[in-house]
Amino acid sequence: MATTPQRASGTPAIEIHDLHKSFGTVQALDGLDLTVTPGQVAGFLGPNGAGKSTTIRVLLGLLRSDSGSVRLLGGDPWSDAVALHRRLAYVPGDVSLWPNLSGGEAIDYLTRLRGPVDKRRKAALLERFELDPTKKASTYSKGNRQKVALVAAFMHDVDLLVLDEPTSGLDPLMEAVFMERVREAKDRGTSVLLSSHILSEVEKVCDTVTIIRAGRSVESGTLDELRHLTRSTVNAVVGGDPAGLVVLPGVHDVETAQGESGTRVKFDVDNAEMAGVLTALSTMDVHSFTAAPPSLEELFMRHYGDELAGEEAAESAARRAGETGKHARSEAGAR
């Protein structure tokens, strides 16, 4: 398996176009697009239930797509499953192991399905991930079961790593160890698909990001490209009157507060309109100025903000209605 992964650089590692998949009446994927360029770490972002795991299971040939095209390492994930699986490794979000096998046995078993076990590599990975291999899988915590799958996945150099929320059970220290492994794999030329709903995780290692919601890709590009489309948050303290900022094009949510050293002003600005804002600010006797690029958290909230706000309103209304009913019941019970 120590072949040069770079050789596949012509074709994309993953290429999904207009993918549909439904389970009965539930439409899990509804026209999803996703491309992973060879050698890149691609983030796959979306809230719970958006269809990330379904997409990954289609990629692994576990689920058959209803329509759309899916290419994995230049092959068909359904009909070429075995050949393609020689070149990839997968870590599920919720790892389930055989209760009567120890962690070390499970690692050896999964590794041997792919090739010989390099004992030194195994020992090194076990040490890095601080995993006791003699414990029975039934006594492992969620994080430890995940470590077993991670160690098994990193035992061979593969062309593609498919990681489905791989750090959901890991503590921050182990998450750092994991990120380091991903970077190492990337340096060797491995392509990585990393699904997550934790934005900071994706931000740390990913070259590109695809955001999906309700089975559909809503945004995709490099981090820079995505940020370009969005706003920055500006914090400034000015001596002059900031009222003029409000009317500028591309400026949103202006907040002002009178401080000792001047007027503290905070607002969001579309990056495309930044020049106008700077010109205006320069006339206002600026004491301090910071402009921060948006975190993915903010990107995410902006994408879903409107919908989320709507949903939350509906939910809390429903909750209120439910609580009223519950009170009525418990009062009746008290009587």
Partner 1 sequence: MTTTLERTAPAAPSAPAARAGSTLTGTWSLVRFILRRDRVRLTVWTLSLVAFYAYFTAALGLMSETEGALQARAAIMETPSGIVMGGPGYGVDDYTVGAAIANEGTVWVVLALALMSILHVVRHTRAEEESSRSELVRANPVGRHAPAVAAVITLVAVNAVVAVVSALAMTGVGGAEEMPLADSLGMTVGVGLSAMVFGAIALVFCQLVEHARGATGRSVAVFGLAFTIEVAGNLREVPGGSALSWFSPIAWAQQTRAFVDLRWWPMALSVVAVAVLLWFASFLASRRDFGGGMIASRPGRADATESLRGPVALAWLQQKGALRWTAAGLGAMWMASGTLIPDIGEMIGDLIADNPAMSAIFGGDTSEFEAAFLGVMMLYGALCCAGYAIVMGLRPKAEETTARAELVLSTPVSRRRWFGAQLLVAGAGTVVLLAVSVVALWLGTYIVDVTDPGLGTYAEVFVSYVPAVLVYLGLTAALFAWVPRATAAGWALLAYTFVIGMFGGLIEDMPEAANWIAPFYWVPEAFVADFDPGSFVGLSAVAAALFVLAFVGFRRRDVVTS
Nearer to partner 1, 117 or 286 (CB): 117
Q: How far is the CB of 88 from partner 1 (least distance, A)?
A: 8
CA atoms within 13 A on the CB side of 177: 17
Q: How far is the CB of 153 from partner 1 (least distance, A)?
A: 9
Q: How far is the CB of 125 from partner 1 (least distance, A)?
A: 13
Nearer to partner 1, 53 or 232 (CB): 53
Nearer to partner 1, 61 or 262 (CB): 61
Nearer to partner 1, 151 or 296 (CB): 151
Q: How far is the CB of 106 from partner 1 (least distance, A)?
A: 8
Element (H, E) at 308: helix 296-334
User: What's the CA dihedral at 58, 5, 33, 303 to 10 degrees?
Assistant: 110
Which pair of tokens denotes residue 76? 């068909």
Nearer to partner 1, 102 or 263 (CB): 102
Distance from the Cα of residue 308 to its chain's centroid: 18
CA angle 188, 97, 48 (to 5 degrees): 70
Q: How far is the CB of 134 from partner 1 (least distance, A)?
A: 4
Nearer to partner 1, 83 or 246 (CB): 83
CB 107 within 8 A of CB 148: yes
Contacts of 87 (CB under 8 A, 6+ apart): 73, 158, 159, 160
Q: Distance (Å, rounded) from C-alpha 310 to C-alpha 331? A: 32
Nearer to partner 1, 133 or 169 (CB): 133
The SS3 of residue 284 is coil
Q: Distance (Å, rounded) from C-alpha 16 to C-alpha 1? A: 26
Q: Which residue has the tokens 């910071």?
A: 290
Binding residues for partner 1, rule: CB under 8 A, are 57, 60-64, 81-83, 85-86, 88-90, 92, 94-102, 104-105, 108-110, 112-114, 119, 133-136, 138-139, 149, 162, 326, 329-330, 333-334
Q: How far is the CB of 82 from partner 1 (least distance, A)?
A: 5
Element (H, E) at 32: strand 26-36
Q: How far is the CB of 62 from partner 1 (least distance, A)?
A: 4
